[in-house]
Every structure is written in structure tokens, then in C-alpha cells.
Homo-oligomer: A and B are copies of this chain.
Amino acid sequence: MTANLDKIMKPKSIAVVGASTKEHTIGSDIMKRLQEYKFNGKIFPINPKGGIIEGLQAYTSVLEVPEEIDLAIIVVNAKFVLSTIDQCHQKGIKGLCIITAGFKETGAEGAEAEKQLLAKVQEYGMRCVGPNCLGVVNTLPEISMDGCFAESLPERGHIGFVSQSGALGGGILNILKDLNLGFAQFISIGNQADVNAETALEYWENEEDVEQILLYMESIQNPANFRKLASRISKKKPILALKAGRSAAGASAASSHTGSLAGADKAANALLNQSGVIREYSLKNLFSTAKVFANCPIPKGDRVAIITNSGGPGIMATDAVCEYGMQMAKITDATKEKLRSFLPSAASVKNPIDMIASAPIEHYKQTLETVIADENVDMIICIYLPFLGLKDIDVAKALMEIKAKNPQKPVIGVFMTKSEFFTALSDMDVNIPFFMYAEEAAEGLHRLNQQRLWIERPEGKIPTFSNIDKAKAESIIKQSIADGREQLTTRESIDVLDAYGIRVCKSGFATTEDQAVSIADSIGYPVVMKMTSKTTSHKTDVGGVRVNIQSAEQLRAEYQDLISKLEAKGLLDGLEGVIIQEMVKGNREMVCGVATDPQYGHMMMFGLGGVFIEVMKDVTFRIAPLTDVDAKEMIKSVKAYKLLEGARGTTPAQMEQIEETILRLSQLVSDFNFITELDINPLLISEKTGEGIAVDGRIKVNMTAAKEQFGCGTTCTCCH
């Protein structure tokens, strides 16, 4: 299917099917908007009664129209939509925008109708926006299409906006003018039966008129495709997303650590993050950021200079800049000298540069020009507080004049002045974004910097390790399935990890006391003894882990004690035996795992493990499959990274080996897609070598999916 939406977004002719003369109906409003906004093409109102609608001859059907039609905007009652599509097809129309509601959003019957709708669209080789949407907009002068029934006419600009909520899209059209922002194109995707956010992304990738892409999403239809597209396109133009529905997303009921810390919103967050999409958490911030991208180049670094005529706001701006992790620029001596040559002695030429309250417009101009030229400065915040005698709009114009001559660095204005100033600005062509408060400016610079880091970020590769024993892993998993167990035993789990080349600690399995001793003797003391059971999942609850066993004698005592404890609790039946493990010394316990989100698939987790895992929640997520860059970033993004680096004389961890562990896990769940949960907890950092060693592991599979992948039920003996 082509992502070319030209027939919908750049039509030469539009039929409004369901056009009406009745005031305050969508069929009337769409007609009005198209004409008010001076659509640069032909409009054909379609109404079974014919007549004149908004001054145009109406046709009783699209089939009556004597000319070619590119786009049909459909607003008829839901029950007529399918037959309308048939007629459009007969007429050769390839673009549809179905505003009509009453489909999937109303329940099962509507969903069925929507299915039929999509089938027709696909069969006919059409593309379709909606149903249940607000319409489409293209402000390009040679198109000039407002095919929306919102209250306001759209402003011209260079934002591509996709909204999953029609109402919201309308609200936004209403307020954008105040923000001095405008759309290039707007698509209200509604139920997104056909065209969705991904289609829009792909379509806009090479649309020059669209300089940044804004998304309002409540769901992501095809996460893998979204990631592929967004991570490519976000390198060319910023993509900002407001993803709603965070709180509704309760963590999935899962028995593993990774599962309980995951959840759909963390998955969405990981996906957006890996795709280079800037996630905003409020509409307000979405638009503030858009305003910044609309008027600023991407900076070369993160060093910020602040120019102000008042101390307090300068301090507040400094606070905000530092809190976003950016640097306060170190102004060069040459710059300082130059500033001193014209600023009064009471002024401060250190960053923040305080020109003091008496600063005339000339000082604003000279200071800004001087600071832009400073090689230590990447971005600039320019603060103005009104004092007697100066007009805010004059100061703003002066700054914009300097900016026009020096466009290379981002400049953001903070004007703590009356709202009339901002109203006046909204009718002007600006090249600097102006805000009321310093914090908004700092946030804007932070977003610019984030985009810079994304552009500079290497793309990374999804590695494939060849030194793995896939067959062995498969046979272990098959045995578990044959036994009807979705949860692999600890031993099986560790063996699967081992087969995938993950460093696990040396161990053996014993079912008797004597066996245990013999294995321990061969590994060498001290050892750890862990019970493995088919019925008890959290071993520490029943005292099933005994550490630092120094001798055969001690091992025997611990073994006997465990048996008697289990017996007392009536848990002896589930006991499979005990694992005797090498005792890895180290007190840094990490966790590495996989959870499965029903929509986003496998989520990889890494972070601080051990008893702290659910208390500190110092973990990070990424959607699988991972690139080497993803894995590197995961390790660096948790607070516990400092522990890995080695502090107070501890051994630095082998970062590359840990990175490889994460990547091998990613490959494992990619090979065995039916693995639903996996925990390596702890991944103990050996004090001796700095290796991350899987000391304990748990793997859970989805039985049905596993049988499907293995083709069980037909050729093997494991399914009955």
C-alpha cells in the first residue's frame, strides 16, 4: 500500500458527500470552511435533493459529477457510508475522508461495519482518513484546503499534525493562532481504519512544507513499523508526541520482577525514546516545543548564555538551565571585555549577563550580537522585564533584527510583560520564540539539545551472535512444554541462558545429599545451594537458598535442614533437587530481564537488582530487538551505573560483557518469540573479574504460542 496521500491532502477537486443547506450541520460547515478558506480547486456538493448549496450546484450523486474527483469528504449517515464508497469507486475516486461517526467506537456492530469499510477501501485501491474524524487540512497556498468542521480556520505554518482525538484537533485549531503557530497539514485520523499516524509520518517524510511532525496518540497501531519509520524520519525533522492514557495502563498481572515493573506506558515510553520521538506530557508543552523548533536551528552543543536586565529572572533561568542538565556557558574573556566596553560598571558580564534595569535597546542589540559570536556559547536566553521608558515590542524587534543577521544559534526570548505583547507578536513574522517565563525558555532549549543528541546518536546495529547453541535451548524448552510447564525450572532457565552464551555461574544439579557434596567438591568451596521446585517460585520465602557453604560438612547440615523445613511446610513434594553453584563474590546485584506487553511485544529491562529492585525501581526499558547502541544506553541510563563504574575500591564492571549479555537475551527472545517473561536476578557483578554473572534465572513461556512455533500437535510427542 502506498503512503502517498496526495489524492487526500492535495486534491484538485473535492466532492462533499452529504453537503447540506441546513445551518450548524457538518454537511453545511464543511462546505463553508472549504469556501471560506478559498480551496484552490473545484468543490462538488453532493446531496440526493440536488439544488444549490453554498452557492454551488449540488449533484445527487458523485456519479452525476461531470468532472474528475480526487477526494470525497463523506458526512452522510453511517448506514449510507458503504454504498457511498461503492459509488466513489465507480466514479474512480481514490481519496476518502470519512467524517461520519458510528463505527468501531460504538461497539461490535459498528466494528463489523468498519471492517467492511476497510475491505472496500483496500479492494478499490483507495486511501481513507477516518471514519469518525474531524477532517483534513492543507494550508499550502496552491492547495488551501480546510476540510474540517472546527470552529476556527487554520493558520498557515509548517507543522504536520496528526490527532487521534477529533475534538482535540478542533480545540487545537482554536488556540494555535495565539501561539503564533500554524499547520502545513492536519489529519484527524479518527478510528484510523486505514490511514494512521504511521501513514502520515511516511507521507510527510519528504514533504518539504512539513518541517516538524506533532502527534496526539492514544495508541500506537503497529509499534515495530512506527519505530522503523519514526527513527528514520526523526533524524530529518523533529517528531513530537503527546501519548495519552498513561494511568489507565495498569501493570500487567505478571509473576516476574520485570513483568511487574513493566506496563504499557513504559513500553510506549521506551518505543518513543528508541525512535527519537520527543515525548511531551501536556498539550501546553507540545506546543511550546513546537514553537521553539519552528524558530530555532538545532544547536551545536548545550552551553547556554543568559542575557537579562534583571537579577531575579536571571537566577530563575540559571536554575532551570542547570536542572535540565545543560551547561552555563563560560563566556570568553574577549566577549567579557567587549561587553564591558559598552555596559555600565554595575552590569555583570559573567553568565548570566545582567545588563541591569537601565539597559536601553542598544545594549540589548550589542549584547546579543556579542554573545552570539562567542565560541563558548551554543544557545541563548534573552530576558526582558519592563522598566519605565522602554516598549517591549521595540525590544523584541531589535532582538529579531540581530537574530536575522545571526541565524546560526538558537535564541529564546523571555518577556515578562503584558499579554498584549504576545497578542501583537501573533500577527508578526517572528524568528525568535518568546515566552513569558524563564522556565519555558529553558525547557525549549532542552528540547533542542535533545534533538541534537538524537541526530548525533549513532544508528547502531542489531547484532546476531553465532556462538550459541540454539538446538540445546530448544530441546530444554520443549521438555518443559512436554511436561505442561509454562514456567521453566531454575536449572532449565540457567541452561537456556548458558546455551545462548550468557555467563552463568558454574553449577550442578543434585537430587541427593551425596550428589550435592560430590558436585560441590568438583566446583570447589565456597558454594551456594539453591532448591529447585516445580511448585514454589520465590525461593527466599521458604529459606531455599543457602550461601557461603564452606565445607562438605556444612553442606550436609544445610541440606538436611532444608529438607526438614520443606517437610514441615508440606512443600517437599514439589522439590526437584538442589543446584550447587560456585559462590560468586560481589555485592553489586543487577537485574536483566524481559517482559511482554500485549501491544508492544518484548520489553528488555536492565537495572539494579536484588532486594532493591521493586523498592528503588532503578530500571530502564527498551523494546526488543535491541541495537548495540540501545544496550549501551540502557546500562548508562540507570543510577546504578555509578556502582558498575566501580566506587570506593570496587572492581569496575566489564561493561561490554554486560552489554553483550543484554543483547544475547534480546536474541534469545527473538528466536523464541513465545518467551513471555525472563529474569536474570541477580546478574551479580563479580568482585574478582567485573563480569556480570547470571546467578539465578527464570523463564516463562506461553504454551499455546510455543506449540504453534514448534508445530507441536502434529509431529512431536510433546503435545497430547
Mark A residues whose CB is within 8 Å of B: 24, 29, 106, 149, 151-152, 163-165, 167-168, 170-172, 174-175, 177-178, 216, 218, 242, 244-248, 281-284, 309-313, 315-316, 318-323, 346, 357, 385-389, 416-419, 423, 436-440, 538, 540-541, 587-588, 608, 611-612, 614-618, 639-640, 642-643, 647-649
Contact = CB atoms under 8 A, between A and B. Distances in A.
Contacts of A642: 614-615
Contact of A615 (B24, B282, B436, B639): B639
Contact of A385 (B167, B322, B389): B167
20 contacts: A29-B388, A165-B310, A165-B313, A167-B309, A171-B310, A171-B385, A172-B416, A175-B416, A177-B418, A178-B419, A242-B316, A247-B318, A247-B319, A248-B315, A248-B319, A281-B319, A541-B648, A608-B616, A611-B647, A616-B618
A167 B615 CA distance: 45
Nearest to A418: B174
Q: How many copies does the complex hold?
A: 2
Contacts of A178: 418-419
Nearest to A645: B615
B283 A437 contact: yes
Given A24-B389, A175-B436, A310-B168, A319 B418 contact: no
Contacts of A387: 151, 167, 170
A24 B310 contact: no
Nearest to A542: B649
A323 B436 CA distance: 26
Contact of A648 (B385, B538, B643): B538
Contacts of A440: 284
B418 A152 contact: yes
A648 B540 contact: yes
B152 A312 contact: no
A454 B78 CA distance: 54
Contacts of A438: 282-283
A86 to B, nearest CB: 28
Looking at A388, A538, A615, the one whose CB has the most chain B CB atoms below 10 A away is: A615
B386 A312 contact: no
Contacts of A417: 171, 174-175
Contact of A643 (B177, B538, B611): B611
A538 B171 CA distance: 61
Nearest to A443: B282
Contacts of A612: 612, 616, 643
Contacts of A309: 167
Contacts of A152: 418
A41 B639 CA distance: 62
A216 B247 contact: no
Contacts of A319: 244-248, 281
Contacts of A283: 316, 416, 437-439
Contact of A437 (B24, B284, B320, B416): B284
Contacts of A322: 246-247
Contact of A313 (B167, B346, B385): B167
A171 B416 contact: yes
Top-6 shortest CB links A-B: A165-B312, A167-B310, A247-B322, A171-B416, A282-B439, A168-B312
Nearest to A245: B315
Contacts of A357: 167
Given A168-B385, A168-B416, 10 more contacts: A167-B312, A167-B357, A172-B416, A174-B417, A175-B417, A244-B315, A246-B323, A612-B616, A614-B647, A616-B616
A168 B313 contact: yes
Contacts of A323: 246-247
Contacts of A151: 386-388
Looking at A244, A315, A389, A614, the one whose CB has the most chain B CB atoms below 10 A away is: A244
A167 B390 CA distance: 14
Nearest to A390: B151
Nearest to A173: B386
Contacts of A538: 648
A528 to B, nearest CB: 15
A163 B174 CA distance: 36
A357 B439 CA distance: 35
A36 to B, nearest CB: 14
A404 B404 CA distance: 52
Contact of A170 (B175, B321, B385): B385
Nearest to A650: B611
A284 B322 CA distance: 18
A395 to B, nearest CB: 13
Contacts of A218: 312, 315
